[in-house]
Amino acid sequence: MKLLRYGAPGAEKPGMLAADGTIRDLSGVVADIAGDVLTDEGLAAIRALDPASLPAVRGDTRLGPCVAGTTKFICIGLNYADHAAESGMEVPPEPVIFMKANSAICGPNDPIVIPRGSEKTDWEVELAVIVGRRAKYIPEADAMDHVAGFAVTNDVSERAFQIERSGQWTKGKSCDNFGQIGPWLVTRDEVADPQNLGMWLRVNGRTMQNGSSRTMVYGVRHLVSYLSRFMTLHPGDIISTGTPPGVGLGLKPPQYLRAGDIVELGIEGLGEQRQDVIAD
């Protein structure tokens, strides 16, 4: 099942993608794609609906972030060995955790906005895990019971802010429109193996990233369990699990985004995004 949110920024409505590719409105059934809707019981209730009985939505309608009610946008750094190598860093002995501000979250096709003073805005295709049930101190064997589903995200990063300006990475990750997520939340029953998904990203039609979640150092189950030791995970929380190689920072010479560029990215079975790059 593919769930989504559509409409103007800040006024999105819940929806689902029907098998025929049409968007169907869920606003008469649920308030949003958030909270208890993300539990197994909530998802089962939506799954039992006949999509044809729901109002159709115009196909050119803007898609918003595919999940609402996010209390935390948690990111995992250096979680692909080959990406760590291109960044000139060691594979960490435990997951590297940093946060992206919730104000960075935007729709999958909303523009990437280069912040003022930026010269090193970079791209990162990542597999996002959407939490569906409260998780605290959970064993790895039970981790997937707390996952509602998966989505594509672009962990846009400003490398100078992140690396050269001292302090933590968060300020290089949290600018407005640095967290495109969607186009839809694909429920976990439709993802046979989250550790075997092809991932790609193009800039101006040129393939920059072409990897697979197979090369993650720490997999989804481990990450959900690990994070639950340090913070309670709530329905709607997003875990961005790291990126394969091919980011602008790792190129020789490095290459970064400029206004006028077009970024396209996707993950096998989870959909695609397209973003125009604009200056703030």
How far apart CA 156 and CA 129 sit, in angstroms, is: 17
> What sign has the CA pseudo-torsion 230, 231, 235, 237?
negative
Paired strand residues for 131: 147
Residue type at 53 in one-letter notation: S
Could you say which residues of the chain have pLDDT below 70? none
Residue 209 has a pLDDT of 97
Q: Which of 104, 79, 251 shows the shortest CA–CA distance to 179?
A: 104
Q: Is residue 241 within 8 Å of 77, Cβ to Cβ?
A: no
Q: For the domain 73-279, what is the CATH superfamily, name and number?
A: Fumarylacetoacetase-like, C-terminal domain (3.90.850.10)
pTM check: above 0.85 = yes
Residue 29 has a pLDDT of 97
Q: Which regions of the chain carry the CATH code 3.90.850.10?
A: 73-279
Q: Is residue 95 within 8 Å of 257, Cβ to Cβ?
A: no
Dig out the tokens for 69 from the structure.
């009610």
Paired strand residues for 153: 126, 181
Give me the half-sphere count of Cα atoms (radius 13 Å) on the Cβ side of residue 228. Answer: 23
How far apart CA 224 and CA 240 sit, in angstroms, is: 11
Residue 270 has a pLDDT of 98
> What sign has the CA pseudo-torsion 203, 208, 213, 216?
negative
Q: Is residue 233 within 8 Å of 131, Cβ to Cβ?
A: yes
3-state secondary structure of 271: strand
